[in-house]
Structure 1
Amino acid sequence: MTRFPLPAPHALTALVALAAAALGTPLGAQEPLAVDPQYRTFVPKDDPNKDGIDYSIWTEAMKNLVVSMGPSLREGAGRPDPSFGTRRQYGHVSRYRLEGSRLMFSFLDDEVIDSFTEYRRDLEATADKVDIQKLSRNEQLAYWINLHNVAVTEQIAKQWPVRQPREMEVDGVKLDEAKFITVEGIALSPRDIRENIVYPNWRDPKVIYGFWRGEIGGPSIQREAFNAENVARLLEKSAREFVNSLRGTEKAGDTLEVSELYREAAPFYFSDFERDLRAHLREYAQPKVVAILDETDKLEASIREWDIADLAGGVREPTYQNIQNAQGDQVSSRIPQSMARLLAQRERKFEKIIREGRTGTVTFSNLRLPNGDENDGEVE
């Protein structure tokens, strides 16, 4: 196999130290679905080669910038008290604020933000050196998910502080529709990558959980880059976390409320929306969600939370405090009070998880049987 390493922008490498100081198997193919002719060039080709792309620098960045809030307890977080000394409410107030993951935009300086743009352009340029469509299907899927998430991260970082990423604009166009990404000479938006490249060419709906929108209400951003070896595992992990979270599924009387993101993906994966989606959710549902599926006879795609998935709530708070550990020792420099409060709530949540014995997850993926061929264990 030939590996094509992407150059590591100096500032992106440096952000490992910055953040520390501050705190598979191929997915199933399908026939393209009425893809616009300009995007047909991105349809995966037959007889893939064994080339690959190395995303290790992005993994290092995400390990040091992404904070996991842990598995959902299916308990909505109450409204926090105002920051000390003011009646203004800083930080996150969402009932979903203890779910998913957060990216530490407030700790980024201009050099690091510029490195995101450099890395996004390196990913675009990779398609001029490597025949993306001739890579294995998992390599292609990892490329598109990483490019999408790097691009969204870059644009949010450039405009932070911002409360709701979907309201951001790039050259006068809303972020999701803005064609600021160029691959093989074709201008693409984040939505194009999802709906004109990946969704029509991969039939497994778990791919929807790979795409990060920068919002609390969407799938989590992972603490490692996607690649051919881990894409199935990470998508499985993200699917289970989202389906079993309050921002994925809730019960209201006899109605199953689900994320509005499922309606967006319906033309590709849930043609009979309620029947197909219920079957999909059941694949990943834990007992509490299975009970909801059994106890409801209606379905509405009505759950939404558009607030930014960061630690600061998309604002710069003027009041700060030092962070201390349980022994009273200072463990970091001063951070905003609202962020300290959120991290304290996160810590109490993890204490509850441990106290109630909810820890422990084992995931099997990318299994290859002895004497089996390279397609053993394919996810369809």
Structure 2
Amino acid sequence: MPRLPTLALTAVSALALLASPATAQDAGAVDAQFATFTPSAEPNSDKIDYSIWDEAMKNLVVSMGPSLREGAGSPPPSFGTRRQYGHVSRYRLEGSRLMFSFLDAEIIASFTEYRKDLEATADKVDIQKLSRNEQLAYWINLHNVAMIEQIANAWPVRQPREIEVGGVPLNDAKFITVEGIKMSPRDIREKIVYKNWKSPSVIYGFWRGEIGGPSIQREAFNADNVARLLDRSARDFVNSLRGTQKQGDTLQVSTFYEEAAPFYFPDFEKDLREHLARYADTETSEILAATSDMKAAVSEHDIADLAGGVREPTYQNIQSPDGVSQSFRIPQSMTRLLAQREQKFQKIIREGRTGTVTFSNIKLPGDPEDKDTGEVE
């Protein structure tokens, strides 16, 4: 696998210490700090270059393809042992995976370097005066870089929610610093993006490191592609088994939606159904129509990597298809997972499920002058 290069931004934090118990007044003052990140009403045309992160994602992320709405069966144990290594989740063939098990110390250190570069960019570029799409891309990329960095540091780990940074759960650890303000991944989502963007599509940009959440994309977000990537991620998740399921007369949805409910789905069932209908394919639309109740009951906290968050002691030699390139060794459980992935892709081809065209940031003949061309509200 190509080594991740030294990371730096062309456009031009330490871990947060555990604080003493804060009063409600103190908490309010801390939250008020985030008002500084309210987008300006007069944006400029500055841009941030994420080409290095784009290259990294293309090398590190493996797509498992669209959901077939079929739960994967229990895999057999590894050869020579009764222990079950690798992924056992019924959702293991959905979403995307990051190759944490192949990362060495130098690559992991480069994630930290890049996260700090993104933080420092806000000291040289007025983030609040960028276009709304440019700002949104910045916050999503910073959040996801920080999550990947910390999961890589903690790997092997079965579930990202087990990770702590400075004794604080990863989701709430304030190890990110922007313009002198310490923040957690949750702060970026809830106190900056969810507070300032009206479109619920933004929830699909933030990667949690779990199989049960939205996929991480194989390209970095930027002002030009953020609307397209959010739409792609939303459709992938809404039409997946880990996003929506039918259980009798009940529409079971991911518990992922509960966090976003206060911001985007205050009337949870009504608002969420309307949201899901916007992205639903034919099969999901039929599920929506055939259910009268809703329950947030679907979850999967296992890590979204290829190895299942463990180091397996048994390996297999893999030879390139051309028989010329050098062979390499990967765990047996990973070999099985990739074989199941290939079988799934062959089924998709046989059933003619391929072929998706997405248009973004274009004007078509006859469009009104004020037509939205890709800005995420």
TM-score, with structure 2 as normaliser: 0.90
Out of 303, 310, 326, the position equivalent to 1:308 is 303
Aligned to 1:271: 266
Secondary structure of the 1:334 match is strand
Aligned pair 1:362/2:357, yes or no? yes
Asked if structure 1 preserves the Cα contact closer than 8 Å seen for 2:73 and 2:90, the reply is yes
Aligned to 1:108: 103
**CA positional deviation for 1:326:** 6.7
**CA positional deviation for 1:167:** 1.2
Aligned pair 1:50/2:41, yes or no? no
Aligned pair 1:187/2:179, yes or no? no
Secondary structure of the 1:129 match is coil
Within 5 Å, which residues of 2 pair with 1:139-150?
139-150=134-145
Aligned to 1:254: 249
Q: How many residues align?
A: 353
Q: 1-side partners of 2:209 and 2:278: how far apart? A: 26
Q: Once the two structures are superposed, what CA deviation does each residue of 1:137-182 show, in whole Å capped at 9, x if it has no partner?
A: 0000000000000000000001100000011000100000000000
Out of 275, 283, 288, the position equivalent to 1:288 is 283
TM-score, with structure 1 as normaliser: 0.89
Aligned to 1:217: 212
Out of 121, 146, 150, the position equivalent to 1:155 is 150
Q: Once the two structures are superposed, what CA deviation does each residue of 1:252-282 show, in whole Å capped at 9, x if it has no partner?
A: 1100000001111000000110000000000
Aligned to 1:68: 63
Secondary structure of the 2:207 match is coil
Q: Structure 1 residues 377, 112: closer, same or farther in 2, change over 3 A?
A: closer
- The one-letter amino acid paired with 1:317 is E
Out of 87, 94, 99, the position equivalent to 2:89 is 94
**CA positional deviation for 1:328:** 7.5
Aligned to 1:12: 4
**CA positional deviation for 1:367:** 1.5
Aligned to 1:6: none
Q: Percent identity?
A: 76
The list of structure 1 runs, each at least 4 consecutive aligned residues, that deviate by more than 4 angstroms after superposition, is: 324-331, 369-380
Q: 2-side partners of 1:95 and 1:143: how far apart? A: 33
Q: Is there any run of 5+ residues in structure 1 with no aligned partner, and where?
A: 1-9, 16-34
Q: Once the two structures are superposed, what CA deviation does each residue of 1:113-140 show, in whole Å capped at 9, x if it has no partner?
A: 0000000000000000000000000000
Q: Once the two structures are superposed, what CA deviation does each residue of 1:43-81 show, in whole Å capped at 9, x if it has no partner?
A: 101110000000000010000000000000000000000
Q: 2-side partners of 1:369 and 1:344: how far apart? A: 42
Out of 207, 211, 223, the position equivalent to 1:228 is 223
Out of 339, 348, 354, the position equivalent to 1:344 is 339
Q: 2-side partners of 1:74 and 1:179: how far apart? A: 37
Secondary structure of the 1:53 match is coil
Q: 2-side partners of 1:298 and 1:88: how far apart? A: 40
Secondary structure of the 1:299 match is strand
Secondary structure of the 1:224 match is coil
**CA positional deviation for 1:351:** 0.5
Q: Once the two structures are superposed, what CA deviation does each residue of 1:79-122 show, in whole Å capped at 9, x if it has no partner?
A: 00000000000000000000000000000000000000000000
Q: Structure 1 residues 38, 13: closer, same or farther in 2, change over 3 A?
A: same
Q: 1-side partners of 2:63 and 2:223: how far apart? A: 23
Q: 1-side partners of 2:134 and 2:325: how far apart? A: 44
**CA positional deviation for 1:12:** 2.5
**CA positional deviation for 1:38:** 1.4
Aligned pair 1:297/2:298, yes or no? no
- The one-letter amino acid paired with 2:346 is E
- The one-letter amino acid paired with 2:91 is Y
Within 5 Å, which residues of 2 pair with 1:13-52?
13=5, 36-52=31-47
Out of 118, 127, 130, the position equivalent to 1:123 is 118
Q: Is there any run of 5+ residues in structure 2 with no aligned partner, and where?
A: 8-29
Aligned to 1:207: 202
Asked if structure 2 preserves the Cα contact closer than 8 Å seen for 1:144 and 1:193, the reply is yes
Out of 167, 188, 213, the position equivalent to 1:172 is 167
Q: Structure 1 residues 14, 91: closer, same or farther in 2, change over 3 A?
A: farther
- The one-letter amino acid paired with 1:242 is F
**CA positional deviation for 1:36:** 2.9
Secondary structure of the 2:117 match is helix
CA RMSD of aligned residues (A): 2.1
